Homo-oligomer: A and B are copies of this chain.
Amino acid sequence: MHKLEFVKDKNMASIIQPKILKGFRDFLPDQEINRKEITTTLTEVYESYGFVPIDTPVLEYTEILLGKGSGETDKQIYRFNDNGGRDVSMRFDLTVPFARFMAQYHNDLQLPFKRYHISKVWRGENTQKGRYREFTQCDFDIVGTDNAESDYEILSIMNKSFEKLGIKNIEFKISHRGIFNKMLESLNLSENLSDILRTVDKLAKIGIAATQAELTAITNDKEKTAKILEYIQAEGNFLHTLDKIEALSGGESEHSLRLRKIYEYLQAEEIADNFIIDPSITRGLDYYTGIVYETFFKDLPSIGSVCSGGRYNNLASLYTKQELPGVGSSIGLDRLIAALQELDLISSKPSKTECIILNFDSKLKKEYFKLATRLREAGIKTEVFLDDKKLGPQLNFAEKKSIPTAIICGEDEIQQGFFTLKNIKERNNIKVEKFDNLIEEIKKILK
Which residues on B sit within 8 Å (CB–CB) of A436?
none
A16: min CB distance to chain B, Å: 5
A18 contacts partner chain B, Cβ-Cβ < 8 Å? yes
Chain B residues lying within 8 Å of A73, measured Cβ to Cβ, are 4-6
Which residues of B sit under 8 angstroms from A6, Cβ to Cβ? 66-67, 70-73
Contact A50 B353, CB 8 Å, known A18-B319, A24-B59: yes
- Known: A21-B88, A124-B83, A135-B2. Is A52-B29 also a contact (CB below 8 A)? yes
Number of copies of this chain that the complex holds: 2
Question: CA separation between A71 and B267, bound complex, in Å?
Answer: 65
Question: Which A residues form the contact surface with B (CB < 8 A)?
Answer: 1-9, 12, 15-22, 24-29, 32-33, 35-36, 43, 47-50, 52-61, 63-64, 66-73, 75-76, 78, 80-84, 86, 88, 90, 92-93, 100-101, 103-105, 108-110, 112, 114-115, 120, 122-125, 131, 134-135, 137, 142, 144-145, 147, 149-150, 152-153, 156, 160, 198, 264-265, 268-269, 283-285, 304-308, 316, 318-321, 330-332, 335, 350-353, 356, 365-366, 369-370, 373, 376, 381-384, 386-388, 397, 400-401
Interchain CB contact under 8 A, A16 and B319? yes
- Chain B residues, Cβ within 8 Å of A319: 15-18
Do A59 and B134 touch across chains, with their CB atoms under 8 A apart?
A: yes
Across the interface, name the chain B residue whose C-beta is closest to A271: B373
Q: How far is the CB of A329 from chain B (nearest CB, A)?
A: 10
Q: Is the CB of A369 within 8 A of B268?
A: yes
Can you sample 21 A-B contacts with CB below 8 Å? A2-B125, A3-B283, A4-B93, A6-B67, A12-B69, A15-B320, A18-B100, A18-B103, A19-B104, A20-B56, A26-B57, A26-B101, A27-B55, A28-B108, A28-B109, A35-B55, A48-B382, A50-B351, A75-B83, A156-B369, A268-B369
CA distance A268 to B332 in the complex (A): 47
B137 and A52 contacting across the interface, CB-CB below 8 Å:
no
- Complex CA distance for A263 and B304, rounded to whole angstroms: 57
